[in-house]
Copies of this chain bind each other. A is one copy, B any other.
Amino acid sequence: MPLKALPINCTLKADPGKSSSTDAMIAVLAKAFAKKGVEISETVRVAALDIKPGVTSDEGDGDEWPGLRSKILAHDILIFGGPIWMGQIGSVAKRVLERMDAFLGETDEQGRMPSYGKVAVAAIVGNEDGAHGSSAQLFQALNDVGWTIPAVAACYWVGEAMGSVDFKDLKTTPEKVEKTAGMVAGNAAHLASLLAAKPYPG
């Protein structure tokens, strides 16, 4: 069975019709994952869902996290896409991370969280500066709640300091981004296949 990856797009734009640079970066990674034989599900536009604030797995009343949570856990690889704002990962991404906090209390008899054995990578874009700070936040939070981070797990693009160019408007994908996407996808696919075959014993 092929490995499956789910891209989530944490842009601040709720309308999936509105193109987003995060989508553009996810597309670069999706192509790289496809080359490694990984099946890519349709990207989830998180801001289009009603993800309630909170740290439980179901905040009731129209909360759409339970559905997204199940979808995430039905995949081997999470492509966590998000934009940089003010040099930091955006609030929609933070909301998703927060909801995963509940994993800490959802361990099986071997003490394993639902995320154990799953691999996460980051797809980060911004007009300028903030990718490393953003991936630091993502990796720490995701790792705390059980995700495994493969070697070179961040694919990112930002323009020159105080710039205003959008990644989606670049005429061609920068070669270094393409190359990084290949490394990220190759490493993630390799690690996910190892863990799928031999899960953490807990």
Chain A interface residues toward B at CB < 8 A: 12-14, 47, 53-55, 85-88, 90-92, 94-95, 97-98, 101, 111, 113, 115-117, 128-133, 135-137, 139-141, 143-154, 156-162, 174, 176-177, 180, 183, 186-187, 190-191, 194-195, 198, 200-202
B143 in contact with A154 (CB, 8 Å): yes
Q: Is the interface of A mostly helix, strand, loop or mixed?
A: mixed
Closest to A187 in B: B200
CA distance A140 to B160 in the complex (A): 19
**Contact between chains at B12 and A55 (CB < 8 Å):** yes
Q: Can you give 10 contacting A-B residue pairs, CB < 8 Å?
A: A86-B140, A87-B133, A88-B132, A111-B183, A139-B139, A159-B160, A161-B174, A162-B177, A186-B201, A191-B200
Q: CA–CA, A186 to B116, complex, Å?
A: 12
Give CA–CA (A115, B158) in the complex, Å: 26
Q: Residues of B contacting A86 with CB < 8 Å?
A: 97-98, 101, 132, 140-141, 144-145
Query: A132 contacts which chain B residues (CB < 8 A)?
Result: 86-88, 129-130, 133, 140, 144
Known: A152-B146, A186-B201. A160 touches B162 (CB 8 A): no
Q: Which 7 residue pairs across A and B have the least CB separation, nearest first?
A: A87-B132, A133-B133, A136-B140, A91-B94, A149-B149, A12-B53, A136-B136
A94 to B90 CA separation, bound complex (whole angstroms): 7
In angstroms, Cα B194 to Cα A153, docked, is 18
Contact A151 B200 (CB under 8 A): yes
A90–B195 Cα distance when bound, in Å, is 31
Inter-subunit contact B141/A87 (CB<8 Å): yes
